[in-house]
């Protein structure tokens, strides 16, 4: 096929315009060059370079694509023409099957449990073989778990460890493994953190601590990887309805079984049983439209100067602004008005337990 054909030139030019990745030539560019051969040569060179850049921007790796934001993001990026390597926890699960059926043949579903060193290495080798020594433009660490939302004192240590293992250590392991491919392309590393990773929120001690660690990791990587031209961004979404599919019954039973009698008495049975009602009501307070998050990730991947921090979602920046700019007592008061359960711990029982504990012997 003739590389100077009008079909190739027009197709590449339209891709440049539709992607908004690069600035197109001014309309008077060709008219200002002397001679038709020179104009054709310059335009051809420009479009071939841009075609290489668009090919480079095509390859993206995404974890946690089974459901929620990761699932929607994989579909969205595929619809825009990217070659997406979608990592899933279960390659034979319903989420993976839907991706295969609804997306283009470009999308590749990979088995990727980010807590498994073996699966992370296998995914890296598979993607490296597909890239044929080329670079990977973007890595989106999206996989994560919420854990049962409850007071930090009530959460068993297994919840803290599991949240850190998935939300932090898993993302770090994937990042370290794929950084050589990002370095080749001077690409993008995008970490899906949370609003709870930037500000303290009640009942999210385990989840928030793991996401705060991920946010700090993102900030340090942004500074350290800039010397290779790699840009790093952290996404702090507010509440979105992502369809968490965790085993809440088992986690609740484990939480109740691990409580000491003194702690159970201090909080009271009514409060402990009311934690489930908070979980049931949680989706009704979350936005069903994921487009703000998808737009933030896309900007982080493609913008010439991406932000280091994105806060998609209605009012997501307000708590962060209050936390950073106001006294802590005011922030605590503000948060207490928005994150308060109708039920309160058994304060009388807690006072009695505390009083008996320090009562001198008769």
Q: Are 236 and 310 in contact (CB under 8 A)?
A: yes
- Of the listed 124, 207, 271, 310, which one is catalytic? 207
Q: How far apart are CA 346 and CA 339, in angstroms?
A: 18
Task: Look up 338 and say whether it is catalytic.
Answer: no
Q: How far apart are CA 288 and CA 307, in angstroms?
A: 25
**Which CA distances in Å does 308 have to 140, 208, 232?**
14, 19, 6
What does R_g of the chain's alpha carbons equal in angstroms? 25
Structure tokens at 233: 């961004």
Which parts of the chain are beta strand (E)? 59-62, 83-88, 108-111, 138-141, 188-192, 231-235, 309-310
Our CA dihedral for 346, 351, 356, 359, rounded to 10 degrees, sits at 180
DSSP, residue by residue, 169-238: IIHHHHHHHHHHHHHHHT-EEEEE--GGGTS--TTBHHHHHHHHHHHHHHHHHHHHGGGGT-EEEEE---
Q: Which residues are known to be catalytic?
A: 207
């Amino acid at each position: 096929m003739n590389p100077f054909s009008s079909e190739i030139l027009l197709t590449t030019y339209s891709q440049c315009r539709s992607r908004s990745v690069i600035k197109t030539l001014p309309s008077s560019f060709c008219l200002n060059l002397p001679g038709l051969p020179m104009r054709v040569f310059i335009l051809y060179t420009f479009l071939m370079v841009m075609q290489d850049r668009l090919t480079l921007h095509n390859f993206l790796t995404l974890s946690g694509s089974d459901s929620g934001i990761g699932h929607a993001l994989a579909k969205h990026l595929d619809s825009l023409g990217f070659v997406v390597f979608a990592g899933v926890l279960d390659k034979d699960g319903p989420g993976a099957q839907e991706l295969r059926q609804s997306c283009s043949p470009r999308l590749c579903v990979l088995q990727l449990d980010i807590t498994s060193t073996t699966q992370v290495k296998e995914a890296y080798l598979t993607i490296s073989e597909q890239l044929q020594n080329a670079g990977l433009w973007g890595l989106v660490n999206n996989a994560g778990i919420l854990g049962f939302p409850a007071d930090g004192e009530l959460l068993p240590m297994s919840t803290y460890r599991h949240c850190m293992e998935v939300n932090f250590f898993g993302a770090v392991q994937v990042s370290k493994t794929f950084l050589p491919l990002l370095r080749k392309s001077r690409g993008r590393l995008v970490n899906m953190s949370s609003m709870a990773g930037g500000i303290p929120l009640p009942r999210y001690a385990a989840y928030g601590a793991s996401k705060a660690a991920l946010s700090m990791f993102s900030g340090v990587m942004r500074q350290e990887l800039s010397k290779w031209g790699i840009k790093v961004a952290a996404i702090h979404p507010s509440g979105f309805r992502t369809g968490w599919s965790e085993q809440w019954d088992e986690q609740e039973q484990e939480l109740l079984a691990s409580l000491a009698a003194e702690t159970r008495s201090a909080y009271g049975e009514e409060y402990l049983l009311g934690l489930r009602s908070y979980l049931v009501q949680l989706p009704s307070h979350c936005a069903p439209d994921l487009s703000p998050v998808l737009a933030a990730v896309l900007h982080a991947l493609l913008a010439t100067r991406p932000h280091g921090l994105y806060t998609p979602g209605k009012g997501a920046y307000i708590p962060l602004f209050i936390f950073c700019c106001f006294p802590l007592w005011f922030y605590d008061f503000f948060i207490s008005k928005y994150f308060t359960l109708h039920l309160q711990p058994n304060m009388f029982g807690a006072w009695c337990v505390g009083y008996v504990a320090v009562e001198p012997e008769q």
